[in-house]
Amino acid sequence: MDEKLISEAIAGSKEAFCTLYGQYKDRLYRYALYRLGDPTEAEDAVSECVLAAWQRIGSLRSEKAFGSWIFRILSNCCASRIREMIGTRESLGHIYEAGAEGASAPASLSIELTEALSQLGEEERNIVLLSIIGSLNSTEISSLTGLAPGSVRSKLSRSLTKMREFLS
C-alpha cells in the first residue's frame, strides 16, 4: 500500500483518493456482497462507504491504518443495511438463501460455500469475511470488532474448522 497516496488523500487530493479506491474496490465489494448477499445492496453499501471515507479522510490518524479504517466504515454501512433489511424482510436468513427472490448467492461463491458461511453466527461470519476478503490481520479485525486479537484468531480458526466440517 502506498502511504504517500494516503497522505495525499488526507491532504485533500481527489486523484489520490480515487487511486486508493481503485486498489480497494474489489475487496470492498466482495466483502459487502458476501455479508449482504445482494449485489444491489452491496453496491449501495460500498457507495456509502466511499462517500463517508472521502468525507472523513482527514480524521485518519495513521496511513498504515487505512485498510482497517475503510473496512470499519464498510462494516458499519453493512450493519446499517442489515438492520434495514431485517425491518423490511421476513428474516435475516432470507438474505443468505440461495436462489430466493431478491437474494441470490454471489455469482463467484458456490452454493456449498454460501451454505457453509450460513452455518456461522454473524460475528464469526464477519471475522471470516474480514480475514479472507478484506485481507485484514487479527489486530486489524480486533480494532473493528472490539475483540482481543487472540480471540479473533481463535474464533477464525474455529469458524474455518466449522466450515470445513460442513463442507466434508
| pTM confidence score | 0.68
3-167 CATH fold: Rna Polymerase Sigma Factor; Chain: A (1.10.1740)
Q: How many helices (H) and strands (E) does the chain have?
A: 9, 0
What pLDDT, in 10s, does the model give residues 98-136? 444 444 445 444 567 777 888 899 899 889 888 888 888
What pLDDT, in 10s, does the model give residues 26-80? 999 999 988 888 898 899 999 999 999 999 998 888 888 898 899 999 999 988 8
- Sequence ranges of the domains in the chain: 3-167
State how far the Cα of 39 lies from the Cα of 106, in Å rounded to an integer: 7
- DSSP helix/strand/coil, 103: strand
